[in-house]
């Protein structure tokens, strides 16, 4: 849809547009600008940083900066580098549509505007799955929050969501919130996890649950939420190996439910880009459209912010190469084929003669595994693999690829 020029319309032309100003986007924008290109970074919130702004705990940047930062510190250090490199940041602005003639439309308080670019980097992150998606029965009272929303209320808005809470999901976000709520005087009665193993890191189990005597109920799931207006109680049931309720139930007297039940890569509104549970990319962070690159949680959900920042920089490197001379980027691409033990595989495609860094998650915990990538002559044994920790495999030489690349994980005795 063409619009007519209207006075003070903001109509931008740039080399590289980056959509989403979280860790991946800031790193991408910084790198592209360092490479000498004009960069516009567009962000929907009133500040860049994404979830870093509300993740006030530490553990960020050990690899990317060589420091142990809290989320806000990581964001400020990276933002300074972004601004120093004269990236144009447009905040409080939402992308509406992407057009095939290398243009996006966005909206803000000044109106609806266009950005024309030569290459695009998508770093739109992930959103939380809502507990409504689990089809839990019972009432639908006030007092049910996703973990990220509760974190935002507490850390950014100074608002306490309740007094007695049950946490659903033992991923790192749930564990961090268990500690945060406890320190602020909310009684956390327990963490409920449907799998027989916890979803988050060992250190968070120790520092968020054990330190505060918060019980962790593995192989348990929420069966029913009860409350006329506000949450009054939650019925939790044990589950068997097929995740069916066994009938062994517990009742929790709580007024708050905080649910950390999964992250979903945010791929809207980019309909023309291939996605399947996240944008599909190759080892150049290129999507199915060769001028569109993607990095970070909008492709697959990563463990550490350090990884997404690195991916952002990689996407910017190749986007820069594309802008410099798109013909020089080789076109031949193969599929990456994960075997049945792999739950998450990244990237999903591979171009030969370019290095690759695989990130993968096993489907279930395994004591010892062997990973074989025959087409790349790779074979290695790893100790203890769990779904919550990504395995990284860096391979520089991919010149021998002649067919689709199988990545096989085997249980090793």
Give the interface segment with other proteins, choosing from 260-268, 292-300, 314-322, 336-344 (CB under 8 A): 260-268
Determine contact, residues 191/176, Cβ cutoff 8 Å. no
Distances (CA, A) of 230 to 94, 259, 281: 33, 16, 44
Query: Minimum distance from CB of 351 to other proteins (Å)?
Result: 29
Give the interface segment with other proteins, choosing from 107-115, 290-298, 319-327, 328-336 (CB under 8 A): 107-115
404 belongs to the binding site for other proteins (CB under 8 A): no
Paired with 39 in beta bridges are 16
Footprint on residues 314-353 left by other proteins (CB under 8 A): none
233 belongs to the binding site for other proteins (CB under 8 A): no
Query: Minimum distance from CB of 404 to other proteins (Å)?
Result: 26
Interacting residue with other proteins among 38, 146, 221, 282 (CB under 8 A): 146
128 belongs to the binding site for other proteins (CB under 8 A): yes
Among residues 80 and 411, whose Cβ is nearest to other proteins? 80
Among residues 226 and 329, whose Cβ is nearest to other proteins? 226
20 belongs to the binding site for other proteins (CB under 8 A): no
* Three-class SS state of 41: strand
Determine contact, residues 218/195, Cβ cutoff 8 Å. yes
Max CA separation in the chain (angstroms): 71
Query: Minimum distance from CB of 183 to other proteins (Å)?
Result: 6
Structure tokens at 34: 């360092």
Paired with 293 in beta bridges are 121, 286
Structure tokens at 19: 């959509």
Query: Minimum distance from CB of 211 to other proteins (Å)?
Result: 6
Among residues 37 and 64, whose Cβ is nearest to other proteins? 64
Footprint on residues 163-192 left by other proteins (CB under 8 A): 163, 183-184
Interacting residue with other proteins among 11, 13, 67, 96 (CB under 8 A): 96
Determine contact, residues 336/375, Cβ cutoff 8 Å. no
Among residues 127 and 324, whose Cβ is nearest to other proteins? 127
Query: Minimum distance from CB of 152 to other proteins (Å)?
Result: 5
Give the C-alpha separation, 157 to 54, whole Å: 10
393 belongs to the binding site for other proteins (CB under 8 A): no
DSSP 172-231: HHHHHHHHHHHHTT-EEEEEE-SSSS-SS-HHHIIIIIGGGT--EETTEEEEEEE-SSB-
Interacting residue with other proteins among 85, 88, 102, 141 (CB under 8 A): 141
Among residues 48 and 401, whose Cβ is nearest to other proteins? 48
Paired with 144 in beta bridges are 257
103 belongs to the binding site for other proteins (CB under 8 A): no
92 belongs to the binding site for other proteins (CB under 8 A): yes
* Three-class SS state of 85: coil
Among residues 206 and 379, whose Cβ is nearest to other proteins? 206
**Phi, psi angles (nearest 5°) of residue 264:** -120, 120
394 belongs to the binding site for other proteins (CB under 8 A): no
Query: Minimum distance from CB of 78 to other proteins (Å)?
Result: 12
List Cβ neighbours of 157 (8 Å cut-off, separation of 6 or more). none
Give the interface segment with other proteins, choosing from 221-229, 307-315, 316-324, 369-377 (CB under 8 A): 221-229
List Cβ neighbours of 211 (8 Å cut-off, separation of 6 or more). 179
List Cβ neighbours of 199 (8 Å cut-off, separation of 6 or more). 169, 170, 171, 172, 174, 193, 387, 388
How many residues bind other proteins (CB under 8 A)? The answer is 73
Interacting residue with other proteins among 11, 99, 156, 253 (CB under 8 A): 156
Among residues 141 and 387, whose Cβ is nearest to other proteins? 141
């Amino acid at each position: 849809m063409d619009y007519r020029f209207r006075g003070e319309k903001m109509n931008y032309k740039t080399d590289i547009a980056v959509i989403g100003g979280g860790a991946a986007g800031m790193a991408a924008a910084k790198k592209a600008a360092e490479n000498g290109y004009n960069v516009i970074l567009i962000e929907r919130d009133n500040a860049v940083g994404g979830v870093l702004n509300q993740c006030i705990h530490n553990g960020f940047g050990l690899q990317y900066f060589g420091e142990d930062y809290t989320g806000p510190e990581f964001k400020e250090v990276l933002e300074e580098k972004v601004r120093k490199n004269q990236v144009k940041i447009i905040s409080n602005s939402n992308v509406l549509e992407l057009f095939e003639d290398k243009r996006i439309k966005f909206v803000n308080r000044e109106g609806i505007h266009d950005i024309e670019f030569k290459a695009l980097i998508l770093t739109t992150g992930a959103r939380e799955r809502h507990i409504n998606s689990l089809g839990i029965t019972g009432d639908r009272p006030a007092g049910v929050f996703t973990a990220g929303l509760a974190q935002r209320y507490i850390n950014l808005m100074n608002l306490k969501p309740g007094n007695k809470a049950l946490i659903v999901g033992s991923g790192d976000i749930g564990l961090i919130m268990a500690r945060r709520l406890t320190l602020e005087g909310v009684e956390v009665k327990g963490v409920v996890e449907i799998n027989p193993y916890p979803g988050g890191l060992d250190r968070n189990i120790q520092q968020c649950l054990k330190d505060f005597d918060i019980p962790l109920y593995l192989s348990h799931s929420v069966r029913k939420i009860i409350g006329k207006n506000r949450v009054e109680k939650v019925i939790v049931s044990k589950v068997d190996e097929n995740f069916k309720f066994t009938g062994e139930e517990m009742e929790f007297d709580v007024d708050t439910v905080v649910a950390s039940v999964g992250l979903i890569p945010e791929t809207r509104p980019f309909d023309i880009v291939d996605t399947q549970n996240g944008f599909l990319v190759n080892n150049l962070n290129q999507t199915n459209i060769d001028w569109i690159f993607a990095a970070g949680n909008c492709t697959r959900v990563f463990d550490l912010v350090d990884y997404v920042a690195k991916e952002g920089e990689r996407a910017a490197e190749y986007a820069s190469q594309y802008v410099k001379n798109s013909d020089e980027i080789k076109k031949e691409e193969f599929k990456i084929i994960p075997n049945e033990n792999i739950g998450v595989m990244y990237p999903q495609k591979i171009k030969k003669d370019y290095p690759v860094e695989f990130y993968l998650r096993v489907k279930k915990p395994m004591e010892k595994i062997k990973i074989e990538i025959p087409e790349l002559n790779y074979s290695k044994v790893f100790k203890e693999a769990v779904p919550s920790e990504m395995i990284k495999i860096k391979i520089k030489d991919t010149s021998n690829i002649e067919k689709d690349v199988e990545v096989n994980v085997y249980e090793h005795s």
